[in-house]
C-alpha cells in the first residue's frame, strides 16, 4: 500500500472492556515461541492486551471458543480468567507477540495453574 508522506493511516485492532480498574503502570514484553511450542494453563492478575507480530497463535480464554490469530491480530486476556491455550499454532514456524500488562501496583504478570 502506498501511503502519501503527509497522511497517517489508523486501523482499529481491538476494543477491550476492562471494567472499572486503576492502572498504575504498564509493562510491555515481546514473547517468542518456537515451532509447536505451547503455553501453560495460566491466568493473569491484571488485564493483558497484545498483538501478534509474526506467525500464528491459538488462543482460548475459559468460556470462549478457541481462536486462531495470525500476524497482525490483537487480543485481550481478562484479569483472573483461565487461559486454556496460548500456543504457537504452527509446528514449523516461530510465533512472536507483544503483550501489554495493565498493572496496578506490584502485581505479578502471570500465574501458572497446576491441576
Model confidence pLDDT, tens digit, residues 31-45:
999 999 999 999 999
* 13 found inside a domain: no
* 6 found inside a domain: no
Boundaries of domain holding 35: 25-112
Q: Which three cell numbers stand for residue 101?
A: 500488562
How many domains does the chain fold into? 1
* 53 found inside a domain: yes
* 80 found inside a domain: yes
d(CA 2, CA 25): 36
- Given pLDDT bands bounded at 50, 70 and 90, which one contains residue 3? low
Q: What is the pLDDT of residue 115?
A: 75
- Given pLDDT bands bounded at 50, 70 and 90, which one contains residue 53? very high
DSSP state letter for 63: T
Residue whose entry in the numeric block shows the C-alpha cell 478457541:
66
Residue whose entry in the numeric block shows the C-alpha cell 492486551:
49
Whether the per-residue pLDDT at 21 is higher than 80: the answer is: yes
Q: What is the pLDDT of residue 113?
A: 95
Model confidence pLDDT, tens digit, residues 54-104:
999 999 999 999 999 999 999 999 999 999 999 999 999 999 999 999 999
Give the CATH number for residue 98: 2.60.120.10
* 12 found inside a domain: no
Q: Which three cell numbers stand for residue 50?
A: 497484545
* 70 found inside a domain: yes
Q: What is the pLDDT of residue 2?
A: 67
CB 39, CB 85: distance < 8 Å: yes
* 99 found inside a domain: yes
Q: What is the pLDDT of residue 6?
A: 83
* 8 found inside a domain: no
Amino acid at each position: 500500500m502506498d501511503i502519501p508522506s503527509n497522511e497517517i493511516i489508523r486501523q482499529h485492532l481491538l476494543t477491550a472492556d476492562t471494567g472499572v480498574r486503576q492502572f498504575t503502570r504498564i509493562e510491555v514484553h515481546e514473547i517468542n515461541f518456537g515451532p509447536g511450542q505451547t503455553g501453560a494453563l495460566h491466568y493473569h492478575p491484571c488485564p493483558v492486551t497484545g498483538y501478534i507480530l509474526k506467525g500464528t497463535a491459538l488462543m482460548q480464554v475459559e468460556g470462549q471458543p478457541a481462536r486462531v490469530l495470525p500476524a497482525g491480530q490483537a487480543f485481550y486476556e481478562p484479569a483472573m480468567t483461565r487461559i486454556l491455550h496460548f500456543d504457537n499454532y504452527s509446528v514449523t514456524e516461530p510465533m512472536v507477540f507483544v503483550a501489554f500488562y495493565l498493572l496496578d501496583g506490584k502485581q505479578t504478570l502471570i500465574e501458572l495453574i497446576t491441576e
